[in-house]
Amino acid sequence: MRGDKTVKLKIAVAGKGGVGKTTIAGTLARLIAKEGERVIAVDADPAMNLKFVLGINENPSPISELKDLIFERTGAYSGSGIYKLNPRVDDIIERYGAKGPEGVVLLVMGTIDKGGTGCICPESAFLRSLLRHVLFKDNVVILDMEAGIEHLGRGTARGVDLMLTVVEPGMRAIETVGRIKKLAADIGIKNIAGVINKATDSGMTKRVERMLEELGIPLLGVIPYDKVLIRADMDAESPLDTGGKAVERINELKSRILRVSY
Ligand SMILES: Nc1ncnc2c1ncn2[C@@H]1O[C@H](COP(=O)(O)OP(=O)(O)OP(=O)(O)O)[C@@H](O)[C@H]1O
Ligand SMILES: [Mg+2]
């Protein structure tokens, strides 16, 4: 802990599909909690696999599936088509969050089925309200995003202190980071930083570093390609429990993130 001050850092992890967002988000969450901080990890990806990285075995209910609760809280049961935009959500973390090792609390947002043109408004309003609530609480929040950040609205984005963009050596991953940077600025996120993941050789890493520099994205860490992580993934094991070079580097990344005040 930094003195006796509670850290209120809110980090969103974004990047192209498969670059390692969930691995980094979940491992950072556990490592920051190890420092004595209260950490909430939010799985905002429809694939919902953050729990494995956090070392959580139970299956937490995806919030979007709590239809009765959502309809009750938003008032959508009335059938009038009118529903509350700010439903009560202050008990949701306690009731539906799953606790993992180090006390990290996982919230799984779930997906909203937009099938056809049916109105999905109450569900969206509920999730938005919950995310805002989580982002303005007094603790550390790590948001594992799906590949794009398009669904992050302005209201939510204002609560994000740092957008951590993960990039692997490859043109598409770098283009995605460039796009995320523009979007992040558009919705009012002030700090953006990059992490190179799955780094193989230093020549390649240097090239990616230069590209990030051209994009004006400061580099916070380089994480090597590590087979241990593939095995952890296949065995549904938490990377922090298997250890290895990549995890060591994520630990260094954590220290660097905690040293800066955002
Ligand atoms: N440094 C690394 N070295 C080797 N493999 C890695 C590394 N980082 C992540 N991986 C592996 O890459 C795969 C994708 O990682 P992960 O699920 O974290 O990516 P993601 O960006 O969250 O993907 P998605 O976009 O599907 O959510 C996993 O099998 C993971 O174990
Ligand atoms: Mg993921």
Does residue 2 sit within a domain? no
Residue 77 belongs to domain spanning: 10-259
pLDDT at residue 262, as a whole number: 76
pLDDT at residue 76, as a whole number: 86
Domain CATH code at residue 200: 3.40.50.300
* Counted domains in the chain: 1
What digits encode the pLDDT tens for the residues 55-95? 999 999 999 999 999 999 999 887 677 888 899 999 999 99
- What is the number of other CB atoms lying within 10 angstroms of the CB of residue 190? 13
Give the pairing of strands 98-99 and 105-108: antiparallel
pLDDT at residue 146, as a whole number: 80
Task: Name residue, tokens 């959508």.
Answer: 76
Give me the mean pLDDT over the 155-163 stretch.
87
Does residue 161 sit within a domain? yes
Tokens of 79: 């059938």
Q: Is 85 in the pocket of ligand 1 (CB under 6 A)?
A: no
Give me the mean pLDDT over the 230-235 stretch.
94
pLDDT band of residue 126 (cuts 50, 70, 90) is very high
pLDDT band of residue 112 (cuts 50, 70, 90) is confident
pLDDT at residue 70, as a whole number: 94
Ligand 2 centre distance from Cα of residue 53 (Å): 10
Q: Is 147 in the pocket of ligand 1 (CB under 6 A)?
A: yes
Task: Name residue, tokens 């802990």.
Answer: 1
pLDDT at residue 116, as a whole number: 53
Q: What is the pTM of this model?
A: 0.94
Instruction: Pick the ligand that lies closest to the CA of residue 24.
Output: 1
Q: Is 47 in the pocket of ligand 1 (CB under 6 A)?
A: yes
Does residue 63 sit within a domain? yes
1 pLDDT more than 50 = no
Handedness of CA 90, 48, 199, 31 (dihedral sign): positive
Does residue 5 sit within a domain? no
Q: How far apart are CA 2 and CA 4, in angstroms?
A: 6
255 pLDDT more than 80 = yes
Q: Is 233 in the pocket of ligand 1 (CB under 6 A)?
A: yes
Does residue 1 sit within a domain? no
What digits encode the pLDDT tens for the residues 172-199? 999 999 999 999 988 889 899 999 999 9
Does residue 3 sit within a domain? no
37 pLDDT more than 50 = yes
Q: For ligand 1, atom 30, name the residue with the nearest CA.
A: 230
Per DSSP, the residues of 6-43 read: PP--EEEEEESTTSSHHHHHHHHHHHHHHTT--EEEEE
> How high is the mean pLDDT of the chain?
90
Of the chain, the percentage scoring pLDDT greater than 70 comes to 92
pLDDT at residue 2, as a whole number: 47
pLDDT band of residue 151 (cuts 50, 70, 90) is low
Type of residue found at 137: K
